[in-house]
Each structure stands twice: as C-alpha cells, then as structure tokens.
C-alpha cells in the first residue's frame, strides 16, 4: 500500500519573479536557494530548512491568466505554519501590516488560529499557529469544528 509521508513542495507560476521573490523571501521570510533554478525559464526556489526546497516559483509573465475568484476547481489555499502561539501570530499580523500586506481573513479553527492573505498573483495563503494539542488531532469534532472569527 502506498502512503504519503509529507507534503514536499509547492510550485507556483508567477507573473513577475522579482515581485514574488520579494514577497516570499523578504516579507514571508523563506530562505532562497542560492541562484536561480536552471529550468530554461526564470525560476527560484525557497526552503524553510525542512527540506531541499518547499516552494518553487516559475515566471510565466504578465500575459498569463490570473487565478479566478470564487468557487472553482483546483487550489483554494495553502497553509504555512508561522509559530506555536497567538503571540507569534500577533507578531506576524504586525509584520504583514507594516509591509502593506492586506489581511483577507482571520479564523479560529479550534485546531489552529489563522490569518489569510493573497500573494501578488492572487494565490490565497493561510498563515497559522497550532493551538490544539497534538493528542487531540484525531478528534474530528475538534479538528473540523465550526469556524469562528479570530480576535487577536
């Protein structure tokens, strides 16, 4: 039987590599892999240090079709863990505001507390902290509890 061990990486097409490099590297704090990735088109990889790369950005130019809003098939958002406490999430919130990144949502999911933002190309990102102890993650009623507004 096959078993997934972990989510390894995400690859995003971007319209402007330098703009996205600034967003993911300078604002969100990913560590850039040295040099551009040799794919025959502008690309750059990032890591949090967990593995060789967790994010790859490939530039496709500004004539590419943008991410449609609303209900659609495909990716809704991806989540990035940014700490282990509400205090750390408040620091992230202050950092985002100081860098002009609009917050499009803030949710208490019982298992996590989350902020939602969009990258420069419209991809939605959840920035979260785990607040429910790991031993309670097997309880579907807790992990998929009704979503409440988050007040930091």
Tally of structural domains, the chain: 2
Determine, yes or no, domain membership for 96. Answer: yes
Is pLDDT of 131 > 80? yes
For residues 82 and 55, membership in a common domain is answered with: no
CA-CA distance, 134 to 112, in Å (whole number)? Answer: 11
Q: Is 32 left (phi over 0), alpha (psi -120 to 50) or beta?
A: beta
Regarding pTM above 0.85, the answer is yes
Tens digits of per-residue pLDDT, 31-51?
999 767 778 889 999 999 999
Domain that holds residue 83: 78-149
For residues 95 and 130, membership in a common domain is answered with: yes
Determine, yes or no, domain membership for 70. Answer: no
Domain harbouring 103, CATH code: 3.10.180.10
Contact 84, 131 (CB under 8 A): no
Determine, yes or no, domain membership for 39. Answer: yes
Q: Mean pLDDT score of the chain, rounded to an integer? A: 94
In the beta sheet, which residues pair with residue 116? Answer: 105, 126
Determine, yes or no, domain membership for 68. Answer: no
What's the order of all strands across the beta sheet hosting 105-108? Answer: 78-83, 124-130, 112-118, 105-108, 148-149
Is pLDDT of 141 > 90? no
């Amino acid at each position: 039987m096959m078993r997934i061990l972990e989510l390894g990486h995400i690859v995003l097409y971007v319209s402007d590599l330098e703009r996205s490099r600034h967003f993911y590297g300078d604002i969100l704090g990913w560590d850039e892999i040295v040099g551009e990735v040799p794919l025959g088109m502008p690309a750059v990889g990032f890591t949090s240090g967990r593995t060789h790369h967790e994010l790859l950005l490939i530039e496709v130019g500004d004539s590419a079709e943008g991410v449609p809003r609303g209900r659609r098939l495909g990716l809704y958002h991806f989540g990035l863990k940014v700490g282990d406490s509400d205090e750390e999430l408040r620091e992230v919130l202050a950092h985002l505001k100081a860098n002009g990144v609009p917050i499009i949502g803030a949710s208490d999911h019982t298992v996590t507390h989350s902020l939602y933002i969009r990258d420069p190309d419209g991809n939605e990102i959840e920035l979260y902290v785990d607040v429910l102890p790991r031993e309670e993650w097997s309880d579907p009623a807790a992990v998929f509890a009704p979503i409440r507004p988050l007040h930091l």
